[in-house]
Structure 1
Amino acid sequence: MTGRRLYLRAGLYAEGPSDYDFLLPLLDRLLPALASSLFPGACDVADSLGIDAPYPAPGERAERIAAAIADRLAECTLFVIHADSKGDPRYARQSCVDPGIDAARRASPDVVTVTCVPVRETEAWMLVDAEVFRPWLGSGAQSALPAEPEREADPKLTLGRLLKEGGMRRKPERLHRLFGEEVSLEALRTLPAFQLFEAELAEAVRAVARSQGWSD
Protein backbone atom coordinates (compact mmCIF):
# COMPACT_ATOMS: atom_id res chain seq x y z
CA MET A 1 0.00 0.00 0.00
CA THR A 2 3.01 2.29 -0.32
CA GLY A 3 1.98 5.72 -1.50
CA ARG A 4 -1.73 5.09 -1.04
CA ARG A 5 -3.74 7.06 1.47
CA LEU A 6 -7.09 6.48 3.09
CA TYR A 7 -9.49 9.42 2.80
CA LEU A 8 -12.16 9.99 5.43
CA ARG A 9 -14.83 12.60 5.94
CA ALA A 10 -17.81 12.22 8.26
CA GLY A 11 -21.22 13.71 7.61
CA LEU A 12 -23.19 14.28 10.82
CA TYR A 13 -26.98 14.27 11.00
CA ALA A 14 -27.90 15.45 14.52
CA GLU A 15 -31.07 16.39 16.35
CA GLY A 16 -30.43 20.07 17.02
CA PRO A 17 -27.94 22.97 16.78
CA SER A 18 -26.30 22.31 20.15
CA ASP A 19 -25.73 18.66 19.18
CA TYR A 20 -23.94 19.77 16.01
CA ASP A 21 -21.90 22.26 18.06
CA PHE A 22 -20.69 19.53 20.40
CA LEU A 23 -20.43 16.51 18.11
CA LEU A 24 -18.71 18.08 15.09
CA PRO A 25 -15.55 19.17 16.96
CA LEU A 26 -15.63 15.92 18.90
CA LEU A 27 -15.67 13.95 15.63
CA ASP A 28 -12.84 16.09 14.30
CA ARG A 29 -10.69 14.85 17.18
CA LEU A 30 -11.95 11.29 17.42
CA LEU A 31 -11.94 10.28 13.76
CA PRO A 32 -8.27 11.19 13.07
CA ALA A 33 -7.23 9.42 16.28
CA LEU A 34 -9.06 6.25 15.26
CA ALA A 35 -7.85 6.39 11.68
CA SER A 36 -4.22 6.85 12.64
CA SER A 37 -4.40 3.96 15.10
CA LEU A 38 -5.91 1.64 12.48
CA PHE A 39 -3.91 2.85 9.45
CA PRO A 40 -0.80 4.60 10.82
CA GLY A 41 0.69 7.27 8.59
CA ALA A 42 -1.69 6.61 5.72
CA CYS A 43 -4.81 8.68 6.42
CA ASP A 44 -6.21 12.00 5.29
CA VAL A 45 -9.17 13.12 7.40
CA ALA A 46 -11.20 16.14 6.34
CA ASP A 47 -13.28 18.23 8.73
CA SER A 48 -16.61 16.67 9.58
CA LEU A 49 -19.64 18.16 7.88
CA GLY A 50 -23.04 18.92 9.40
CA ILE A 51 -25.71 17.66 7.03
CA ASP A 52 -29.46 18.08 6.67
CA ALA A 53 -32.10 17.32 4.07
CA PRO A 54 -32.17 19.93 1.31
CA TYR A 55 -35.23 22.13 0.94
CA PRO A 56 -38.03 21.16 0.65
CA ALA A 57 -37.33 18.56 3.33
CA PRO A 58 -39.50 15.44 3.58
CA GLY A 59 -41.89 15.27 6.52
CA GLU A 60 -40.73 11.96 7.98
CA ARG A 61 -37.44 11.81 9.91
CA ALA A 62 -36.33 8.65 8.11
CA GLU A 63 -36.76 10.28 4.73
CA ARG A 64 -35.00 13.45 5.90
CA ILE A 65 -32.01 11.37 6.99
CA ALA A 66 -31.97 9.56 3.65
CA ALA A 67 -32.23 12.85 1.75
CA ALA A 68 -29.43 14.41 3.79
CA ILE A 69 -27.15 11.45 3.09
CA ALA A 70 -27.98 11.42 -0.62
CA ASP A 71 -27.26 15.16 -0.82
CA ARG A 72 -23.73 14.72 0.59
CA LEU A 73 -22.83 11.28 -0.71
CA ALA A 74 -20.16 12.67 -3.03
CA GLU A 75 -18.49 14.64 -0.20
CA CYS A 76 -18.55 12.26 2.76
CA THR A 77 -17.21 8.73 3.12
CA LEU A 78 -19.26 7.87 6.21
CA PHE A 79 -22.31 9.24 7.98
CA VAL A 80 -22.98 9.59 11.71
CA ILE A 81 -26.66 9.61 12.68
CA HIS A 82 -27.35 11.04 16.14
CA ALA A 83 -30.42 10.72 18.33
CA ASP A 84 -30.90 11.43 22.02
CA SER A 85 -32.36 8.40 23.74
CA LYS A 86 -34.32 9.89 26.67
CA GLY A 87 -33.19 6.89 28.71
CA ASP A 88 -34.02 4.15 26.19
CA PRO A 89 -31.12 3.80 23.72
CA ARG A 90 -32.49 0.68 22.05
CA TYR A 91 -35.82 2.31 21.29
CA ALA A 92 -34.11 5.49 20.06
CA ARG A 93 -31.92 3.47 17.73
CA GLN A 94 -34.84 1.43 16.39
CA SER A 95 -37.26 4.33 15.99
CA CYS A 96 -35.07 7.37 15.22
CA VAL A 97 -31.94 6.02 13.50
CA ASP A 98 -32.45 2.62 11.88
CA PRO A 99 -35.39 3.67 9.65
CA GLY A 100 -33.32 6.52 8.22
CA ILE A 101 -30.35 4.26 7.57
CA ASP A 102 -32.62 1.69 5.92
CA ALA A 103 -34.11 4.42 3.69
CA ALA A 104 -30.63 5.66 2.74
CA ARG A 105 -29.48 2.14 1.87
CA ARG A 106 -32.42 1.57 -0.44
CA ALA A 107 -30.91 4.29 -2.63
CA SER A 108 -27.22 3.64 -1.85
CA PRO A 109 -26.70 0.07 -0.57
CA ASP A 110 -23.01 0.58 0.20
CA VAL A 111 -23.35 3.73 2.31
CA VAL A 112 -21.33 3.53 5.54
CA THR A 113 -23.21 4.69 8.64
CA VAL A 114 -22.59 5.00 12.37
CA THR A 115 -25.21 5.33 15.11
CA CYS A 116 -24.57 7.88 17.88
CA VAL A 117 -27.07 7.48 20.75
CA PRO A 118 -25.95 8.89 24.11
CA VAL A 119 -27.91 7.78 27.16
CA ARG A 120 -30.58 10.47 27.44
CA GLU A 121 -28.71 13.49 25.91
CA THR A 122 -25.28 14.49 24.61
CA GLU A 123 -24.90 16.69 27.70
CA ALA A 124 -24.15 13.49 29.65
CA TRP A 125 -20.91 13.25 27.67
CA MET A 126 -20.02 16.79 28.75
CA LEU A 127 -20.17 15.86 32.44
CA VAL A 128 -17.34 13.34 32.39
CA ASP A 129 -14.21 15.54 32.45
CA ALA A 130 -13.57 17.81 35.45
CA GLU A 131 -10.74 19.65 33.67
CA VAL A 132 -13.18 21.36 31.31
CA PHE A 133 -15.08 22.72 34.32
CA ARG A 134 -12.10 24.07 36.27
CA PRO A 135 -12.32 27.63 34.82
CA TRP A 136 -15.71 27.92 36.54
CA LEU A 137 -15.62 25.46 39.44
CA GLY A 138 -11.93 25.56 40.35
CA SER A 139 -10.55 22.79 42.56
CA GLY A 140 -14.04 21.59 43.39
CA ALA A 141 -14.79 20.56 39.82
CA GLN A 142 -14.06 16.87 40.34
CA SER A 143 -16.34 16.48 43.35
CA ALA A 144 -19.10 18.56 41.72
CA LEU A 145 -19.49 16.31 38.67
CA PRO A 146 -21.76 13.27 38.86
CA ALA A 147 -19.90 10.02 39.39
CA GLU A 148 -21.94 8.33 36.64
CA PRO A 149 -23.01 10.94 34.07
CA GLU A 150 -25.06 8.51 32.02
CA ARG A 151 -27.29 7.84 35.04
CA GLU A 152 -28.29 11.51 35.31
CA ALA A 153 -32.04 11.88 34.80
CA ASP A 154 -31.59 15.29 33.14
CA PRO A 155 -27.96 15.88 32.09
CA LYS A 156 -28.84 19.19 30.41
CA LEU A 157 -30.27 20.49 33.68
CA THR A 158 -27.22 19.23 35.59
CA LEU A 159 -24.87 20.96 33.17
CA GLY A 160 -26.75 24.24 33.46
CA ARG A 161 -26.78 24.06 37.25
CA LEU A 162 -23.05 23.40 37.51
CA LEU A 163 -22.18 26.28 35.19
CA LYS A 164 -24.54 28.63 37.01
CA GLU A 165 -22.98 27.67 40.34
CA GLY A 166 -19.60 28.50 38.83
CA GLY A 167 -20.74 31.97 37.80
CA MET A 168 -21.31 31.29 34.10
CA ARG A 169 -23.87 33.76 32.78
CA ARG A 170 -24.02 32.61 29.18
CA LYS A 171 -26.46 29.85 28.26
CA PRO A 172 -24.81 26.40 28.40
CA GLU A 173 -25.78 25.80 24.76
CA ARG A 174 -23.22 28.42 23.72
CA LEU A 175 -20.47 26.34 25.30
CA HIS A 176 -21.19 23.09 23.49
CA ARG A 177 -18.44 23.67 20.93
CA LEU A 178 -15.92 24.30 23.71
CA PHE A 179 -16.83 21.01 25.35
CA GLY A 180 -16.57 19.21 22.01
CA GLU A 181 -13.09 20.65 21.52
CA GLU A 182 -11.79 19.99 25.03
CA VAL A 183 -13.53 17.06 26.72
CA SER A 184 -11.06 14.25 27.30
CA LEU A 185 -11.41 11.29 24.95
CA GLU A 186 -9.99 9.04 27.66
CA ALA A 187 -12.66 10.23 30.09
CA LEU A 188 -15.36 9.66 27.48
CA ARG A 189 -14.11 6.12 26.99
CA THR A 190 -15.28 5.27 30.52
CA LEU A 191 -18.92 5.70 29.39
CA PRO A 192 -20.65 2.63 27.90
CA ALA A 193 -22.63 4.59 25.30
CA PHE A 194 -19.47 6.31 24.07
CA GLN A 195 -17.61 2.99 23.99
CA LEU A 196 -20.30 1.62 21.69
CA PHE A 197 -20.18 4.71 19.49
CA GLU A 198 -16.39 4.59 19.16
CA ALA A 199 -16.47 0.87 18.33
CA GLU A 200 -19.03 1.49 15.58
CA LEU A 201 -16.98 4.41 14.27
CA ALA A 202 -13.85 2.23 14.14
CA GLU A 203 -15.76 -0.41 12.17
CA ALA A 204 -16.98 2.30 9.80
CA VAL A 205 -13.40 3.41 9.19
CA ARG A 206 -12.52 -0.19 8.30
CA ALA A 207 -15.52 -0.37 5.96
CA VAL A 208 -14.45 2.82 4.18
CA ALA A 209 -10.92 1.46 3.90
CA ARG A 210 -12.22 -1.73 2.28
CA SER A 211 -14.27 0.31 -0.19
CA GLN A 212 -11.09 2.19 -1.12
CA GLY A 213 -9.14 -1.00 -1.75
CA TRP A 214 -7.52 -1.56 1.62
CA SER A 215 -7.53 -4.96 3.31
CA ASP A 216 -8.08 -5.45 7.07
Structure 2
Amino acid sequence: MIYIRAGLFAEGRTDYEFLCPLLGRLLDDLAAELFPGNHMIGESVGIDAPRGTTGGRAQKIAAAIHERWDECTLFVIHADGAGDPAEVRRRQVDPGMMAARALRKDREIVAVACIPVREMEAWMLPDPEVFRALGGAEVRCPREPERESDPKLTLRRLLAETKLRSRPEDLYRFFGEKIRLDALRSLPAFCTFRDELTGALRHLAASP
Protein backbone atom coordinates (compact mmCIF):
# COMPACT_ATOMS: atom_id res chain seq x y z
CA MET A 1 0.00 0.00 0.00
CA ILE A 2 1.42 3.39 -1.03
CA TYR A 3 0.63 6.27 1.32
CA ILE A 4 0.66 9.72 -0.27
CA ARG A 5 0.33 13.00 1.55
CA ALA A 6 1.47 16.29 0.07
CA GLY A 7 2.87 19.26 1.91
CA LEU A 8 2.28 22.47 -0.04
CA PHE A 9 4.46 25.57 0.30
CA ALA A 10 2.60 28.37 -1.50
CA GLU A 11 2.84 32.12 -1.89
CA GLY A 12 -0.33 33.26 -0.15
CA ARG A 13 -3.59 32.37 1.58
CA THR A 14 -5.74 32.10 -1.55
CA ASP A 15 -3.11 29.89 -3.21
CA TYR A 16 -3.43 27.44 -0.31
CA GLU A 17 -7.23 27.68 -0.46
CA PHE A 18 -7.26 26.70 -4.13
CA LEU A 19 -4.32 24.33 -4.38
CA CYS A 20 -4.76 22.13 -1.30
CA PRO A 21 -8.13 20.63 -2.36
CA LEU A 22 -7.08 20.54 -6.01
CA LEU A 23 -3.86 18.76 -5.11
CA GLY A 24 -5.72 16.10 -3.14
CA ARG A 25 -8.05 15.40 -6.06
CA LEU A 26 -5.21 15.33 -8.57
CA LEU A 27 -3.13 12.96 -6.45
CA ASP A 28 -6.10 10.62 -6.08
CA ASP A 29 -6.68 10.69 -9.84
CA LEU A 30 -3.04 9.99 -10.67
CA ALA A 31 -2.62 7.31 -8.00
CA ALA A 32 -5.78 5.50 -9.16
CA GLU A 33 -4.22 5.31 -12.61
CA LEU A 34 -0.73 4.36 -11.46
CA PHE A 35 -1.50 2.12 -8.46
CA PRO A 36 -5.12 0.92 -8.80
CA GLY A 37 -6.39 -0.41 -5.47
CA ASN A 38 -3.01 0.03 -3.83
CA HIS A 39 -2.86 3.58 -2.54
CA MET A 40 -4.09 5.82 0.25
CA ILE A 41 -4.26 9.60 -0.05
CA GLY A 42 -3.89 11.76 3.05
CA GLU A 43 -5.27 15.29 3.11
CA SER A 44 -2.87 17.77 1.53
CA VAL A 45 -1.58 20.25 4.08
CA GLY A 46 -0.23 23.78 3.77
CA ILE A 47 3.25 24.15 5.22
CA ASP A 48 5.31 27.18 6.21
CA ALA A 49 8.58 27.89 7.96
CA PRO A 50 8.41 28.05 11.76
CA ARG A 51 8.14 31.53 13.25
CA GLY A 52 11.55 33.11 13.60
CA THR A 53 13.16 31.32 10.65
CA THR A 54 15.96 33.48 9.27
CA GLY A 55 17.19 33.79 5.71
CA GLY A 56 15.42 34.11 2.39
CA ARG A 57 12.79 32.07 0.61
CA ALA A 58 15.08 29.08 0.06
CA GLN A 59 15.76 28.78 3.79
CA LYS A 60 12.05 29.11 4.56
CA ILE A 61 11.17 26.34 2.10
CA ALA A 62 13.84 24.12 3.64
CA ALA A 63 12.65 24.86 7.19
CA ALA A 64 9.01 24.21 6.23
CA ILE A 65 9.86 20.84 4.71
CA HIS A 66 12.03 19.92 7.70
CA GLU A 67 9.19 20.87 10.09
CA ARG A 68 6.65 18.62 8.33
CA TRP A 69 8.96 15.81 7.29
CA ASP A 70 7.24 13.16 9.37
CA GLU A 71 3.75 14.09 8.12
CA CYS A 72 4.24 14.23 4.35
CA THR A 73 5.63 11.87 1.74
CA LEU A 74 6.09 14.51 -0.96
CA PHE A 75 6.28 18.28 -1.15
CA VAL A 76 4.94 20.80 -3.66
CA ILE A 77 6.53 24.24 -3.99
CA HIS A 78 4.33 26.85 -5.64
CA ALA A 79 5.43 30.14 -7.18
CA ASP A 80 3.66 32.36 -9.70
CA GLY A 81 5.54 32.39 -13.00
CA ALA A 82 5.20 36.16 -13.71
CA GLY A 83 5.48 35.41 -17.44
CA ASP A 84 8.78 33.48 -17.14
CA PRO A 85 8.18 30.19 -15.27
CA ALA A 86 11.64 28.80 -16.07
CA GLU A 87 13.37 31.80 -14.51
CA VAL A 88 11.06 31.77 -11.49
CA ARG A 89 11.81 28.10 -10.97
CA ARG A 90 15.54 28.79 -11.16
CA ARG A 91 15.39 31.69 -8.68
CA GLN A 92 12.54 30.81 -6.32
CA VAL A 93 11.94 27.05 -6.32
CA ASP A 94 15.12 25.12 -7.12
CA PRO A 95 17.19 26.89 -4.41
CA GLY A 96 14.59 25.93 -1.81
CA MET A 97 14.62 22.30 -2.90
CA MET A 98 18.42 22.29 -2.79
CA ALA A 99 18.43 23.85 0.68
CA ALA A 100 15.89 21.30 1.92
CA ARG A 101 17.98 18.41 0.61
CA ALA A 102 21.10 19.88 2.18
CA LEU A 103 19.26 20.11 5.51
CA ARG A 104 18.14 16.45 5.34
CA LYS A 105 21.08 14.65 3.80
CA ASP A 106 20.05 11.51 5.68
CA ARG A 107 16.73 11.22 3.80
CA GLU A 108 15.55 11.48 0.23
CA ILE A 109 13.17 14.39 -0.34
CA VAL A 110 10.61 14.05 -3.12
CA ALA A 111 9.54 17.54 -4.20
CA VAL A 112 7.96 19.08 -7.30
CA ALA A 113 7.38 22.60 -8.59
CA CYS A 114 3.94 24.10 -9.26
CA ILE A 115 4.38 27.20 -11.45
CA PRO A 116 1.60 28.74 -13.53
CA VAL A 117 2.72 30.92 -16.42
CA ARG A 118 1.65 34.15 -14.70
CA GLU A 119 -0.67 33.69 -11.70
CA MET A 120 -2.52 30.80 -10.10
CA GLU A 121 -5.86 32.43 -10.96
CA ALA A 122 -5.33 31.36 -14.59
CA TRP A 123 -5.97 27.78 -13.42
CA MET A 124 -9.41 28.88 -12.22
CA LEU A 125 -10.48 30.08 -15.68
CA PRO A 126 -10.78 27.10 -18.10
CA ASP A 127 -14.01 25.53 -16.83
CA PRO A 128 -17.34 27.30 -17.44
CA GLU A 129 -19.15 24.58 -15.48
CA VAL A 130 -17.60 25.64 -12.18
CA PHE A 131 -18.88 29.19 -12.74
CA ARG A 132 -22.30 27.77 -13.61
CA ALA A 133 -22.27 25.81 -10.35
CA LEU A 134 -21.82 29.06 -8.45
CA GLY A 135 -25.01 30.68 -9.63
CA GLY A 136 -26.32 29.22 -12.83
CA ALA A 137 -24.99 32.02 -15.03
CA GLU A 138 -23.28 31.30 -18.32
CA VAL A 139 -19.85 32.88 -18.69
CA ARG A 140 -17.42 32.81 -21.59
CA CYS A 141 -14.10 31.56 -20.27
CA PRO A 142 -10.96 32.66 -22.13
CA ARG A 143 -9.78 30.23 -24.79
CA GLU A 144 -6.19 30.29 -23.49
CA PRO A 145 -6.30 31.27 -19.81
CA GLU A 146 -2.55 31.20 -19.30
CA ARG A 147 -2.13 33.89 -21.95
CA GLU A 148 -4.28 36.31 -19.96
CA SER A 149 -2.11 39.26 -18.93
CA ASP A 150 -4.02 39.71 -15.64
CA PRO A 151 -5.74 36.44 -14.60
CA LYS A 152 -6.92 37.95 -11.30
CA LEU A 153 -8.77 40.68 -13.15
CA THR A 154 -10.29 38.18 -15.60
CA LEU A 155 -11.46 36.03 -12.70
CA ARG A 156 -13.11 39.01 -11.01
CA ARG A 157 -14.86 39.97 -14.25
CA LEU A 158 -16.24 36.46 -14.77
CA LEU A 159 -17.38 36.22 -11.16
CA ALA A 160 -19.12 39.57 -11.50
CA GLU A 161 -21.05 38.13 -14.45
CA THR A 162 -22.45 35.43 -12.16
CA LYS A 163 -23.89 38.24 -9.97
CA LEU A 164 -22.69 36.55 -6.80
CA ARG A 165 -22.39 38.60 -3.66
CA SER A 166 -19.45 36.59 -2.33
CA ARG A 167 -15.99 38.11 -2.45
CA PRO A 168 -13.68 36.40 -4.98
CA GLU A 169 -11.23 35.64 -2.14
CA ASP A 170 -13.90 33.48 -0.47
CA LEU A 171 -14.37 31.22 -3.50
CA TYR A 172 -10.89 29.82 -4.07
CA ARG A 173 -11.54 26.63 -2.10
CA PHE A 174 -14.77 26.08 -4.04
CA PHE A 175 -12.81 26.24 -7.29
CA GLY A 176 -10.16 23.88 -5.93
CA GLU A 177 -12.85 21.38 -4.98
CA LYS A 178 -14.99 21.66 -8.13
CA ILE A 179 -12.95 22.60 -11.17
CA ARG A 180 -12.73 19.69 -13.59
CA LEU A 181 -9.33 18.09 -14.02
CA ASP A 182 -10.14 17.50 -17.69
CA ALA A 183 -10.56 21.25 -18.16
CA LEU A 184 -7.24 21.93 -16.46
CA ARG A 185 -5.48 19.60 -18.89
CA SER A 186 -5.94 22.29 -21.55
CA LEU A 187 -3.33 24.40 -19.71
CA PRO A 188 0.33 23.72 -20.61
CA ALA A 189 1.68 24.73 -17.19
CA PHE A 190 -0.81 22.46 -15.44
CA CYS A 191 0.24 19.59 -17.70
CA THR A 192 3.88 20.23 -16.80
CA PHE A 193 2.95 20.11 -13.11
CA ARG A 194 0.85 16.96 -13.61
CA ASP A 195 3.71 15.22 -15.43
CA GLU A 196 6.20 16.17 -12.72
CA LEU A 197 3.81 14.95 -10.04
CA THR A 198 3.36 11.66 -11.92
CA GLY A 199 7.12 11.19 -11.96
CA ALA A 200 7.29 11.92 -8.24
CA LEU A 201 4.62 9.30 -7.48
CA ARG A 202 6.44 6.70 -9.54
CA HIS A 203 9.61 7.55 -7.64
CA LEU A 204 7.81 7.15 -4.31
CA ALA A 205 6.49 3.77 -5.35
CA ALA A 206 9.96 2.60 -6.31
CA SER A 207 11.60 3.82 -3.11
CA PRO A 208 12.28 1.31 -0.33
Tell me the CA shift for residue 135 of structure 1.
Answer: 4.2
In structure 1, distance between residues paired with 2:193 and 2:54: 27
TM-score, length basis structure 1: 0.92
Counterpart in the other structure of 2:120: 122
Structure 1 residue 186 corresponds to structure 2 residue 178:
no
Identical residues among aligned pairs (%): 57
Structure 1 residue 170 corresponds to structure 2 residue 170:
no
Structure 1 residue 140 corresponds to structure 2 residue 112:
no
In structure 1, distance between residues paired with 2:137 and 2:153: 22
In structure 2, the CA distance between the partners of 1:64 and 1:164, relative to structure 1 (3 Å rule), is: same
Tell me the CA shift for residue 169 of structure 1.
Answer: 2.4
C-alpha offsets along residues 141-184 of structure 1, whole Å, 9 cap, x if unaligned? Answer: 2xx21111000000001101111122122221110000000000
- 1:38 counterpart (24, 34, 37): 34
Give the alignment of 1:1-216 within 5 angstroms.
5-109=1-105, 110-135=108-133, 138=136, 140-141=138-139, 144-211=140-207, 213=208
TM-score, length basis structure 2: 0.95
SS of 2:171 mapped into structure 1:
helix
| Larger displacement relative to structure 2 (181-190 or 159-168) | 159-168
C-alpha offsets along residues 61-88 of structure 1, whole Å, 9 cap, x if unaligned? Answer: 0000000000011110000000001111
Unaligned runs of 5+ in 1: none
Unaligned runs of 5+ in 2: none
Tell me the CA shift for residue 198 of structure 1.
Answer: 0.3
Tell me the CA shift for residue 55 of structure 1.
Answer: 1.3
Equivalent residues of 1:82, 1:117 under 8 A apart: yes
In structure 2, distance between residues paired with 1:70 and 1:64: 10
SS of 1:52 mapped into structure 2:
coil
State how many pairs are aligned: 206
In structure 2, distance between residues paired with 1:186 and 1:200: 17
In structure 2, distance between residues paired with 1:28 and 1:9: 8
SS of 2:69 mapped into structure 1:
coil
SS of 1:91 mapped into structure 2:
helix
SS of 1:209 mapped into structure 2:
helix
